[in-house]
Amino acid sequence: MHDVILPEWAVERGKWLNSFGEIDPARTALVIVDMQGAFVAQGEIFGNPHAEAIIPNVNRLAAAMRAAGGTVIWTRQTVSGEAPLAMAPWQYDPTDERVREAMDALTPGAPSHDIHPEMERFGTDLVLDKYRYSAFACPSGALEAALRQREIEMLVVAGTLTNVCCESTARDGYMRGFKVIFLSDATATVCDEEHNAALLSLRLHFADVRDTAAVISIMEQQDNRETS
């Protein structure tokens, strides 16, 4: 798992804009970004040990969110050759061997495209295919439509890669008016330097950055207040 280093000065500076000490589960969605075989499993095209290491925390968060009455959404990075879902040709060049391997792994029907088997996905969860790094940038608009339909106002972001799809989704969510909590120990990327750089930028401008235990504690406190 990543060695998280988030300077206190960044936490303090970011508080005025993004500091969320309460979570209303009924209006919150845990968005689990791209915990697919292709990004998690060793030996896969993008698999790395940091992504494997966050599996328990992501599962804990998902269980806590369901128990509290919140929404759990899984995204799958997906390749399509059909407009408008297809990426620009210069971005995905199939003549490059590694690009071709990645495209094949992320094509629907490929075993690596699906959610990693150790992830605890329930039938009540939503699974959305996304065709851009940010789940909000997808031409299909599926994520935003699902959130608006459920009157969601807060996103809790987990998954991989921290500084690519997770960060892009968090930034776009913020710009669409959603409160965003970004998980420091339930997101993962290739190395600590990239992970911490993303956390720093997000905490300063776009999200409240917290760990798994803190988010679960906030939800439990909210539940205790409602039942007392």
Q: Which domains does the chain have, with CATH numbers?
A: 8-19+27-227 (3.40.50.850)
What is the per-residue pLDDT across 88-113, written as a single tens digit (0 to 9) for each? 888 888 889 999 999 999 999 999 99
- Where residue 62 falls (left for φ over 0; alpha for ψ -120 to 50; beta otherwise) is alpha
What percent of the residues of the chain are helix, what percent strand, and what percent coil, each to the nearest 5? 45, 20, 40
What pTM value is reported for the model? Answer: 0.95
Lowest-confidence range among 2-11, 61-70, 133-142, 194-203?
A: 133-142
Map tokens 């408008």 to a residue. Answer: 84
Report phi then psi at 141, rounded to 5: 65, 20
DSSP helix/strand/coil, 169: helix
The Cα–Cα gap between 155 and 145 comes to: 14
- Alpha-carbon Rg for the chain, nearest whole angstrom, is 17
**pLDDT band at 81; cut points 50, 70, 90:** confident
DSSP 77-118: E---SSTTTSPPTTTS-TTSHHHHHHHHHTSTTSGGGSBPTT
What is the per-residue pLDDT across 128-175, written as a single tens digit (0 to 9) for each? 999 999 999 988 899 999 999 999 999 999 999 999 999 999 999 999
